[in-house]
């Protein structure tokens, strides 16, 4: 059981907004958490949502998707802390690969991965968007048009339910999830400010010929001692990000091999997210 849970955790991803840093940004990183002195806080526009913060994780059926029978496929789980002091709130999107079908299992993983703690600490809306069942009773992201439509529809619905900053949507993935987050950043960067790929390999084979039509910043986190995904497996996509003139940062000081460890992942993620927003 423990090994299967480890495998499942290693195959999760979080998606978030991809974009270039704000022009004329003159606040330094040390002040990024002081929103009264943070140029970046003014980047986005309110979604016009209800505000809806309630300290409870809530399932939503996305119009046009979702079986509505207690399964989590093509549905989304969102959490907005009532303690949030920032309006509109940025968004951290957790997109899973090889996720279980049962809602209860997804809720437990959401908390175990530190998503609730992240929301409470930083006053962000966090959400998990689950695509469809691709076999073996597992949820999996693909490059299908249906998954792409679901990704866009879930973000639209989130904007209707919560007062969020649609220019500050950020995405994280780990292992297979990091691979999928990277793909979403390339394919749907217009909705995102940045992606984070932790220990995920290159999803492009061969590299796509299609030019990018949006800016999407990328943070790539990897332990040189990762026994499952060698860093060389992601270096070519890092080079691709750089070659496409995307804002790119790397953190190769991660010291937890392939494991998802919130205290190792979240601090560099937060620092990175504070420097980028979607200048659409």
**C-alpha–C-alpha distance, residues 129 and 96, integer Å:** 7
> Could you tell me which of 203, 204, 50, 184 has the C-alpha nearest to residue 129?
184
User: What's the Cα-to-Cα distance from 65 to each of 61, 62, 157, 165, 206, rounded to whole Å?
Assistant: 7, 5, 12, 24, 31
**Residue 181 confidence (pLDDT):** 87
Q: What ranges in the chain are assigned the alpha helix state H?
A: 2-10, 103-112, 115-122, 145-161, 176-187, 232-243, 262-273
**C-alpha–C-alpha distance, residues 261 and 224, integer Å:** 16
The architecture that CATH gives domain 2-273 is 3-Layer(aba) Sandwich (3.40)
Determine if the peptide bond prior to 206 is cis (ω within 30°).
yes
β-pair type (125-130, 89-96):
parallel
Residue partners of 214: CB distance under 8 A and separation at least 6: 18, 19, 189, 190, 280
pLDDT by residue, tens only, the chain of 280 residues: 434 333 344 444 433 344 443 333 333 333 333 333 333 445 666 666 666 666 788 988 888 886 655 667 788 899 988 766 666 788 888 866 667 778 888 888 888 999 999 988 888 899 888 887 766 666 767 777 888 888 889 999 998 888 888 889 998 889 888 888 888 888 888 889 999 999 998 888 777 777 777 789 999 999 999 999 998 888 988 988 998 889 999 999 999 999 999 999 999 999 999 899 887 5
**C-alpha–C-alpha distance, residues 191 and 169, integer Å:** 7
């Amino acid at each position: 059981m423990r090994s299967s849970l480890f495998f499942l955790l290693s195959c999760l991803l979080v998606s978030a907004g991809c974009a270039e840093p704000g022009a004329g940004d003159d606040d330094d990183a040390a002040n990024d958490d002081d929103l009264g002195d943070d140029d970046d806080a003014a980047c986005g526009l309110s979604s016009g949502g209800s505000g809806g913060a309630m300290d409870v994780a809530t399932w939503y059926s996305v119009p046009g998707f979702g079986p509505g029978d207690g399964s989590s496929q093509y549905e989304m789980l969102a959490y907005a802390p009532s303690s949030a002091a920032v309006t509109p709130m940025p968004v951290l999107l957790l997109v899973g690969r090889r996720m279980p079908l049962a809602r209860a299992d997804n809720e437990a993983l959401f908390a175990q991965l530190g998503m609730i703690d992240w929301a409470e600490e930083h006053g962000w809306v966090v959400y998990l968007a689950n695509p469809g069942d691709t076999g073996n009773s597992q949820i999996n992201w693909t490059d299908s048009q249906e998954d792409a439509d679901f990704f866009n529809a879930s973000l639209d619905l989130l904007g209707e339910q919560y007062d969020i900053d649609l220019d500050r949507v950020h995405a994280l993935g780990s292992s297979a999830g990091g691979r999928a987050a990277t793909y979403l950043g390339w394919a749907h960067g217009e909705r995102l400010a940045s992606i984070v790929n932790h220990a995920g390999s290159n999803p492009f084979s061969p590299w796509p010929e299609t030019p990018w039509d949006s800016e999407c910043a990328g943070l790539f986190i990897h332990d040189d001692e990762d026994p499952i995904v060698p860093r060389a497996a992601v270096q070519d996509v890092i080079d691709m990000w750089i070659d496409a003139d995307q804002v790119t940062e790397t953190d190769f000081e991660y010291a937890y091999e392939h494991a998802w460890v919130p205290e190792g992942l979240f601090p560099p993620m937060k620092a990175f997210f504070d420097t980028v927003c979607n200048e659409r």
